[in-house]
Amino acid sequence: MESLDLLSDTSFTALSHPMFPQYGVRIKKSGFCDETVSSYTGYIDIQARHLFFYFFESRSDPDKDDVIFWTNGGPGCSSGVGLFMELGPCRVVDADNGTVFHPESWNSKANIFFIDQPIGVGFSYAEYGETVSTSEEAAKDIAAFVAIFFAHFSKFQGRGFHMAGESYGGRYLPVFAAAVYDQNPLLVKAGIPPINLTSVMIGNGMTDVATMMPAWYETQCSPASVAPVQDIQTCIQMKARLPRCTKWFKESCQDQFDLINCDAANTFCALSLMVPYYSSGRNPYDLTKMCRGGSSGLCYDEIEEIIKYLNQEDVQALLGTEVSQYTTCSNSVGHDFSVTLDMLKPTKYYVSALLERGVRVLVYAGTYDWVCNWVGNNAWTLELEWSGQAEFAAHPLTEWTVDGKFAGRTRAANGLTFVTVNAAGHMVPYDKPKESLEMVNRWIAGQPM
């Protein structure tokens, strides 16, 4: 099928491929959110498991522009937040009034997917209670979907493909990208054009917990981001426990992965470094704010409106969803990933492997975020072992600007770029839509910050 225009707007068109006999894709026109482009929704079917996705064509040149894949984090949180609050073509401010046009959407110069993954997140579901509990398991489903989509919609073949996301996406995305890259030889062998995996973009990611732990202390108790937000006594207690935390974590989670001892080390570190921050009532995604919002527990009123909007019957009918109760984050999915200690397995080795194979990697971070802060992300990118490490680490952070105004700091070498976005929190496109769009457009075009 050359064009998405041939799809129905009233029912799903089912797609399959002989290389992936257990996978299928159902897709339909949806015509919502952005009247200036064509939009689509659908499901990735893996036997009795079903992943929901949105797809928007580029506002610029959909027949030539690159393709972006976006996932939110959690683990277990819907990409509806990314779509309706951050970088999507529309935003939900008041659920009763529907959506409003978002001029700084990332589909300004790119075609873009938003995917509810893994199974059990957002509008995704399993018929018989199947679950996914590791990023590596989830990667198999994502790689198959990408291959099926590009195989069927040939006009996108060969386009630059960028896998992007935030937060737990720091764990997901390098694993997903590696699965897509490693699948390419199988596609070629089957006579299918390979996926042109061009880059990975990680926003305020949780990529390496070991380097983030000291950063949790530093961003609370020093002016690394803003003035210290913790009282002196709490900071002294945290400082005293930090050496034991890092030593125990290294011995039990890094030198060897001992499930029981690693879990114990992580619990001690969380009690020592994270609980004091959460007890303060501050927003973990923005050091400058207190937590607000309702039942979602995600500290933003906008998320509550997104939940209300996506639970309206007419909206669900338009999208073609097969789940009637939308929640932003799934506690059960989060629990399943926590049992396997998935977050504690570093993804930085995937990053270095991708870089060595010519896949560019952008790591960006809002300076006001606490939970996946710029200090920790700066640290692991500097420590990353790969052939370009020395040159990358030798570059100082330099200012980048948008319209002549300071936007943050950056360093880059040999395909790896680190960027801070000044005065943005965890969700950079929400806080700094203009700067984030400029950053992404420069990145896709291969231009320096």
The answer to whether 286 is a known catalytic residue is no
- Condensed to tens digits (0 to 9), the pLDDT of residues 372-383 reads 999 999 999 999
pLDDT of residue 323: 93
What tokens appear for 119 in the block? 């199974």
Q: How far apart are the first and last CA of the chain?
A: 37
For residue 426, indicate whether it is catalytic.
yes
Percent residues over pLDDT 90 in the chain: 83
Catalytic residue among 162, 369, 431, 436: 369
pLDDT reported for residue 2? 56
Residues 295-319 have pLDDT tens digits of 667 889 899 999 999 999 999 999 9
pLDDT at position 294:
64
Q: Which of 252, 426, 431, 436 is catalytic?
A: 426
Please state whether the predicted TM-score (pTM) of the whole model is above 0.85: yes
pLDDT tens digit sequence for 413-445: 999 999 999 999 999 999 999 999 999 999 999
* Residue 448 CA: distances (Å) to CA of 5, 184, 330, 352: 35, 28, 38, 20
Q: Cα(377)–Cα(373) distance, rounded to whole angstroms?
A: 7
Question: If pLDDT is split at 50, 70 and 90, which confidence band does 289 have?
Answer: very high
Q: Is-catalytic flag, 167?
A: yes
Residue 81's pLDDT is 95
Q: What is the per-residue pLDDT for 30? A: 87
Identify the active-site residue in 108, 167, 225, 330: 167
Q: Say what the pLDDT of residue 216 is.
A: 97
Q: Which pLDDT belongs to residue 3?
A: 65
Mean pLDDT (the chain, rounded): 94
Residue 163, sorted as left (phi over 0), alpha (psi -120 to 50) or beta, turns out to be beta
Query: pLDDT tens across 232-248, in order?
Result: 999 999 999 999 999 99
- Return the pLDDT at 86: 97
Two tokens at 249? 């974590």
pLDDT at 131 exceeding the cut of 90: no
